[in-house]
Amino acid sequence: MRRDNLARLFDPQSIAVVGASAAPEKVGYQLVDALRDYPGEVFPINPKVAEVAGRRTYASLAEVPHAPDLVLMAVPAAATPDVARQAAQVGAGAALIVSGGFAEAGGAGAALQAQLASICSDSGLRLLGPNTSGYARPATRCFASFVPAVRGFRPGTLGIVAQSGGVNLSLAFLAQRRNMGLRLAVGLGNAVDVDAADVVEYLADDDGTHVIVLHLEGVPNGRRLYDVIAATTPRKPVIVLPVGRAQVAEFAQSHTGNLMGAHAITAAAMRQAGAIVVDSTEDAIDCAAAFSAGRIEPKPKPGVAVLTGQAGPGLIILDALRSRGVDVPQLGDETVGRIAKLLPPMTYLRNPIDTGRPSPVFADVMMEVARDPGIDAVLTFALDEPAALDPIAVFSRTRDQVKQPLLFATLGEASSIETVRDALAARKIPTFFSPERAATAAWALAEDAKARWRCSLTAPATSIEAGERASARDELAAKQLLRQYGIESPKNVACRTHDEALRAFETLRKPIVVKVLDPQIAHKTEVNGVHLDVSDVERLRRALEAIDSIPGDRQERGYLLEEMAPPGVDLIIGAKRDVSFGPTILVGLGGTAAEALNDVSIRLAPISRLDAQEMLDELRGRELLDGWRGAPPVDRDAVVDALLAVSALISTQPELTELDINPLRANPEGTLALDALMIWASPSRG
């Protein structure tokens, strides 16, 4: 029923407008007027006037001749629960609330929103909003919105889903500006019932939607959204714009809690699901436009060719592509030989292919480039010079003979290049008006191909069966639990008194590290609780006395004496049970500067071995692992094993909320956990 009612929401045959107004400046009038070309039935509800925007009115929903598929509400927030109940009672499938004053206002507004959620749950009514600008479906001329300009949207194949109504319209207007048509553009508002996952799933099953752009602000049920995106991206591209990069949560107990902000987890989860993650509305639309040229077949390293009539812009494109990890491979000798016969000497032919100036041979060169086995997409740049090059003629020759996606970038007089853009769009060749924007589009094609290849080899991150309940309240207990999962630590001894510490000191290889052992102290270095290179009894006594002087309850305090580890690269491996996305895992450059470096890679857990390997490759400091300036390379397989162990731990221990191994010392012999912190939902259980 809920699935059927979602279809009634977005493809209604009849619409009622409660709160319809005869005053043109009122939202209740604008909602009716926006439906002036809608071919279905429209029932304005207003007991005080005879008509609104030329349509007969009805006194209430009960007087409408039959149950409307969709009820639009332009009434005060306090009145919406009653209207929603009436809609459900008369058999409506869905409702849409444009009013504000709900959870975003707190207090009474939050209570009203809770009532709406309960009505939807009990009745099966689907609700878009509240606090939404609505949606636009140009192909059916259904503009369920109070914004007049939406009636100008053209039909097409782009689906837009935005948590903000303003962002929904911004993306839609940007798409219209570049002559892209819309299949459906939805603003979710407060998403009391219909959320991002619902709409993406709906568009995934819609044959008329070819690409989806998704804007996210907050994700209440991230794991479900991840599952929906992961099921969608093999069928059609999804581009995600998550906002909130600069938001800072309350200080967390662990480094992991600070490094895994909401934006970082959302972006990582969407990439893991196969989506393309972007940082701006313009990038989102440019990437969506790229897919009008088609998709590159899934592969780990798709190659892009750059054909340019001007060397400078070609270098900008090359730099932008390689900076984002896109392969711009050298062309094979046979390809270069064929191209050399078409171009004058002193031009660069290996890739980018610099023709020296736009010319009619562009078409022949492009077809030769496309024949190269290492090329999966061709990006062409040429300034607008009609006397030298007719792009429409060039691409008319090549489109049917080149199977790879073709992109075109140009700059020139506005009317001329817009004419070219529109003509090429009809041939499914997107045009971009700067080198950088064209590079972003080519990156999107390559990123999509790599993501689908990766996802085809890795199982989705679903929860796994919980293991035997465990708890570890201090560093020693945490390391003992890690050892059960295969992560070793240096030899250590826990002591309660100075005499015990002196006896233990004699049994350990020197030098050692002496640390405070206290479940109440998360960051030991910040309270002078870590003392390195302790090699004699006098240094040991000073370390013990320094730990004794740390303020706080000493009832559970002790000392941890541990052998110093061999040199290597310090990493951080962390895990966190996110309230929205569930178990997540992180790896990065570690030590006391982990948060300052912020060089991390994140995945939802559980992860596969390929996921773990890719996480290491994503680090900016990955060269440190492979032998930097003569240092021996670390045992990468051992680091991968540690990541898989932490993934299993956070996935099988439901009461473990955060975990830090910082640092994890990696060297050619393997890995050692030098410090470990675990935070449990029920710490009193230890």
pLDDT tens-place string over residues 11-69? 999 999 999 999 999 999 999 999 999 999 999 999 999 999 999 999 999 999 999 99
Residue 243 backbone phi and psi in degrees, to 5: -110, 165
Q: How far apart are the first and last CA of the chain?
A: 47
Q: How many other CB atoms sit within 10 Å of the CB of residue 508?
A: 18
Give Cβ neighbours of residue 404 (< 8 Å, ≥ 6 apart): 294, 296, 370, 375, 376, 377, 378
If you average pLDDT over residues 142-169, what whole number do you get?
96
Tell me the average pLDDT of the chain: 93
- Read off the pLDDT band of 463 (50, 70, 90): low
Top-confidence residue, 360 or 253: 360
Residue 685 pLDDT class (50, 70, 90 cuts): very low
| Other beta carbons less than 10 A from residue 301's beta carbon | 14
Q: What is the dihedral of CA 241, 245, 251, 254, to 10 degrees?
A: 70
Q: Percent of the chain beyond pLDDT 90?
A: 86
Q: What is the pLDDT of residues 555-574, one digit of tens each?
A: 889 999 999 999 999 999 99
- Residue 252, pLDDT above cutoff 80: no
Q: Output Rg (C-alpha) for the chain, integer angstroms.
A: 30
Better-scored residue on pLDDT, 200 or 358:
200
Q: Which helix (H) or strand (E) holds 195?
A: none
The C-alpha atoms of residue 296 and residue 290 are separated, in whole angstroms, by: 11
- Taking the C-alpha atoms of residue 608 and residue 610, their distance in angstroms, rounded to an integer, is 5
Mean pLDDT of the region 593-619:
92
- 416-434 burial string, b = 16+ CB within 10 Å, else e? ebeebbeebbebebbbbbb
Whether the CB-CB separation of 251 and 258 falls below 8 Å is answered with yes
- 251 confidence band (pLDDT: 50, 70, 90): very low
Cα–Cα separations (whole angstroms), residue 289 to 209, 238, 682: 13, 12, 50
The tally of CA atoms less than 13 A away on the side-chain side of residue 474 is 15
User: In whole angstroms, what is the distance from residue 93 CA to residue 3 CA?
Assistant: 10
Q: What is the dihedral of CA 511, 516, 517, 520, to 10 degrees?
A: -160
Alpha carbons 85 and 115: distance in angstroms, whole number: 10
3-class SS letters over 600-657: EEEEECCCCHHHHHHHHHCCCCHHHHHCHHHCCCCCHHHHHHHHHHHHHHHHHCCCEE
Which of the 8 DSSP states describes residue 684? G
In sequence order, the 6+-apart residues with CB closer than 8 A to the CB of 516 are 524, 527, 529, 530, 547, 550, 557, 558, 559, 560
pTM: 0.93
How many Å apart are CA 7 and CA 443, to the nearest integer?
34
Q: Which of 399-408, 455-464, 613-622 has the lowest mean pLDDT?
A: 455-464
**pLDDT surpassing 80 at residue 682:** no
Which residue is it, tokens 């568009």? Answer: 203
Place of tokens 């955060």: 658
Per-residue pLDDT tens digits for 313-323? 999 999 999 99
In contact, 180 and 158? CB cutoff 8 Å: yes
293 CB-near residues (< 8 Å, 6+ apart): 377, 405, 406, 407, 428, 429, 430, 445
Report which of 483, 528, 478 is spatially closest to residue 658, judged by C-alpha positions: 478
Spell out the long-range contacts of 45-52 with Cβ–Cβ below 8 A and sequence spacing 24 or more: 45/16, 45/17, 45/18, 45/19, 45/20, 46/19, 46/20, 46/21, 46/22, 49/22, 51/22, 52/17, 52/20, 52/21, 52/22, 52/28
- pLDDT for the residue numbered 26: 96
- Mean pLDDT calculated for residue range 498-514: 97
Q: Report how far residue 301's alpha carbon sits from residue 313's, in angstroms, rounded to the nearest whole number.
A: 24
Distances (CA, A) of 77 to 68, 106, 195: 21, 13, 20
Helix (H/G/I), strand (E/B), else coil: 392: helix
564 three-state secondary structure: coil
Phi-psi region of 15 (alpha: psi -120 to 50; beta: other; left: phi over 0): beta
CA 52 to chain centre: 43
* Model pLDDT, residue 523: 85
Q: Other CB atoms closer than 10 Å to residue 502's CB: what's the count?
A: 15
The pair of three-digit structure tokens given for residue 98, joined into one six-digit string:
């444009």
Amino acid at 55: R
| Mean pLDDT lowest among 12-26, 119-133, 581-595, 597-611 | 581-595
Q: What is the pLDDT of residue 684?
A: 42
DSSP, collapsed to helix, strand or coil, labels residue 95 as strand
How far is CA 13 from each of CA 7, 10, 17, 54, 626, rounded to the nearest angstrom? 10, 10, 14, 19, 62
pLDDT of residue 246: 52
